Amino acid sequence: MIVLYYFSGTKKVVQMKKIALITGATSGIGKATALTLAANGFDLIITGRREELLDELSVNIRSETAAEVITLCFDVRALNEVKKAIESLHGKWENIDLLVNNAGLAVGLEPVNSGVIDDWERMIDTNVKGLLYISRLITPGMVARESGHIINISSIAAHEAYPNGAAYCGSKSAVRAITKAMRIELLPFGVKVSSISPGMVDTEFSKVRFKGDKERAANVYKGLTPLYAPDVAEAILFMATRPKHVNIDEMIIMPTDQGSARDFRRR
What's the DSSP call for residue 48? E
**Residue 121 to residue 38: CA distance in whole angstroms:** 33
**C-alpha dihedral over 123, 70, 176, 109, to 10 degrees?**
-30
CB-based contacts of 177, cutoff 8 Å, min separation 6: none
Annotated catalytic residue 168: yes
Residues 6+ apart with CB under 8 A from 42: 17, 18, 19, 20, 67, 98
Chain center to CA of 246: 20
Cα of 142 vs its chain's centroid, Å: 17
- Active-site position among 5, 162, 168, 221: 168
Packing angle between helix 117-124 and helix 166-186, nearest 10 degrees?
20
* Ramachandran bin of 226, using left for φ above 0, alpha for ψ from -120 to 50, beta for the remaining angles: beta
Q: Which residues are part of the catalytic machinery?
A: 168
